[in-house]
Amino acid sequence: MKLYNTLTRKIDEFEPIEAGHVKMYCCGPTVYSWPHIGNLRTYLNEDFLRRTLVRAGYDVTHVMNITDVGHLTSDGDTGEDKMLKAAEKEKMDVLALARKYENSFFEQCQALHILRPTVVCRATEHIDDMIAFVKKLEEKGLAYVAGGNVYFDTVKFGSYGTLSGQNLASLQHGARVEEDTNKRNPTDFVLWFTSSKFENQILQWDSPWGRGYPGWHIECSVMSSKYLGERIDIHCGGVDHIAVHHENERAQSEGCFGHKWVNYWVHNEWLQLKGIKMSKSLGNILTVAALKEKGYDPLAYRYLALTAHYKSPLLFTFEALDSAQKAYDNLKARVIEIKKNSQGNIDDAAKAEALARFDAALFNDVGTPQALAVMWEVVKSGTLSAPTKWAILQEMDTVLGFDMADFKEEAYTPDAEIEALLQERKEARAAKNWARSDEIRNLLAEKGLAVKDMPDGSVQLMRL
Ligand code: AMP
Ligand code: ZN
């Protein structure tokens, strides 16, 4: 198994710390709004990685945090408090708001067949652990108190900037002039706030430095070490996290533990939503629920995500989603046919050969587009038997995650356009115009519909 590692800036051979076991930490959502399909691309890619690791024979412990306190609108220490701002706007209690969007996040993940992490941990439920961690940093001389807040001293931590390939001097030089004059260095960041412009922060806790609340970054260092230990194999997140959030997490963790923390840093490229206007009001923001309302199957979006490598930006357009929906409908129709004929002998050699190519694509830095291409070769093969195809597809599906075993024809109520096509087909058949009748059958198949002629002369429409 090979993985691109942001830290080494190359594709590295993957070696777990413990044989057969992978410890994987993924930064979770800030639960102040509906998760949009951009956020979800990152979680889909992490799901592909996790399932690939399982396919490669590893037992995976996957930990993800829920940020329900401390994240400001900039990833640094400036801007507004995301949770507070949203709670005021929605006139809701902050924690009630957090739970509402956390539930929405997991509902959308479920619709996309993203596996739930082994451990999901909320920042607000780990405040004591955070205080203990900050105390350790203070004891080690890596933290200082200024103006009531506790800060991490990035200059005292020798290798700040290594992850994003920047040296500290240029970072300091290039850093924006900070409003926060308490900081000794522009790259320093808050570990614990007791004094900020958010004096009205509702969520506050007692601490050795006074009543207050944590900075955003500390939660990931604290919860990952609590559930995975002080050394982890893989740390994931979106590319936007590299320069600030992950540099800060790394500085805190390695500063506290005194040794290397993460072996492989895996960063997902963005879904580009250029030209797509999204407002925070529901209905306009592109969520999975909104796609469903527009008539798309959430799994068509999963399909679209599989077509692009996680390290390539993916430009979202409705044309691209239409193509993904078509391809997914086509896949469904063909798999349903394969399953109908799946009883019989399996060609084990052919199965092993196809799966070897599928695995080779995935084990090479999670090459999902290539793996999808191998899947299509199998589906369309003129030489493989249906039982062999089905045996192969079931194994591929453990990573693709479509739950092909559940694919079935569904009854469908036609709209006016479909009714008109059915009427035309009826007339064509009465006139023995079989060519036109077949043409209409194909048109319906393109729309994901199968037409079945019943013995009593009526027709039944099935959704493929
Ligand atoms: P947040 O809830 O803002 O902390 O973001 C949750 C995750 O979504 C982070 O890992 C971000 O990197 C990721 N993310 C945000 N926008 C996009 C996007 N357009 N495409 C892919 N990932 C994104
Ligand atoms: Zn994080």
The set of protein residues with a Cβ atom below 6 angstroms from ligand 1 is 27, 29-30, 38-39, 41-42, 237-238, 240-241, 270-271, 273
One domain for residues 103 and 236:
yes
Expressed in angstroms and rounded, the spacing between residue 210 Cα and the centre of ligand 2 is 25
Q: How far is CA 462 from CA 333, 447, 452, 456, in A?
A: 10, 11, 8, 17
Is there a contact between 171 and 188 (Cβ–Cβ < 8 Å)?
no
pLDDT confidence tier of residue 280, bands split at 50, 70 and 90: very low
Domain holding 364, by residue range, is 276-406
Same domain, 139 and 109: yes
Q: Residues near 295 by Cβ (< 8 Å), separated by ≥ 6? A: none
Domain count, the chain: 3
Whether 74 and 59 map to the same domain: the answer is yes
* CATH number of the domain encompassing residue 386: 1.10.730.10
CA distance 247 to 251: 6
Q: What is the pLDDT of residue 88?
A: 85
| Cα 453-459-462 angle, rounded to 5 deg | 95
The pLDDT score that the predictor gives to residue 201 is 75
Residues 327 and 256 both lie in one domain: no
Q: 286 or 9: which carries more pLDDT confidence?
A: 9
- Say if residue 185 is in the same domain as residue 297: no
Interval 263-277 mean pLDDT:
87
What's the full length of the chain, in residues? 464
Distance (angstroms) between ligand 2 centre and the Cα of 267 equals: 12
Give, for ligand 1, the residue of 240, 272, 277 to mutate: max count of ligand atoms closer than 8 Å to Cβ: 240
Statement to judge: residues 212 and 197 lie in one domain = yes
Say if residue 314 is in the same domain as residue 452: no
Domain edge (last residue) among 406, 428, 453: 406
202 and 94 Cβ atoms separated by less than 8 Å: yes
> What DSSP letter does each residue of 214-231 carry, written as one string?
E-STHHHHHHHHHHH-S-
User: Of 359, 389, 406, which residue sits at a domain end?
Assistant: 406
Same domain membership, residue 383 and residue 235: no
Give residues with Cβ within 8 angstroms of 439, minimum separation 6. Answer: none
What CATH number does the domain containing 250 carry? 3.40.50.620
| Closest-lying ligand 1 atom to the alpha carbon of residue 27 | 10
Residue 198 has what pLDDT? 66
Mean pLDDT over the full length of the chain: 91
pTM of the model: 0.88
Give 14's pLDDT tier (boundaries 50, 70, 90): very high
Q: At what angle do helices 94-111 and 37-55 cross, to 10 degrees?
A: 60
Nearest ligand to the C-alpha atom of residue 238: 1
- On the question of pLDDT at 264 being above 90, the answer is yes
Looking at the structure, tell me whether residues 88 and 134 fall in a common domain: yes
Pocket test for ligand 1, best of 6, 39, 269 (most atoms within 8 A of CB): 39
- Verify that 256 and 317 share a domain, yes or no: no
Spatial separation of the C-alpha atoms in residues 56 and 79, rounded to whole Å: 43
Closest ligand 1 atom, CA of 26? 10
Of 229-233, 275-279, 432-436, the one with minimum mean pLDDT is: 275-279
End position of a domain, from candidates 368, 384, 406: 406
Task: Write the pLDDT tens digit of every residue in 398-447.
Answer: 999 999 999 998 766 778 889 899 999 999 999 999 999 989 988 888 88
For ion ligand 2, residues whose CB falls within 5 Å:
27, 220
Co-location of 347 and 225 in the same domain:
no
pLDDT at 96: 93
Task: Specify the pLDDT at position 282.
Answer: 47
| Rg of the chain, C-alpha, whole Å | 26
Same domain flag for 66 and 109? yes
Whether 16 has a pLDDT exceeding 70, the answer reads yes
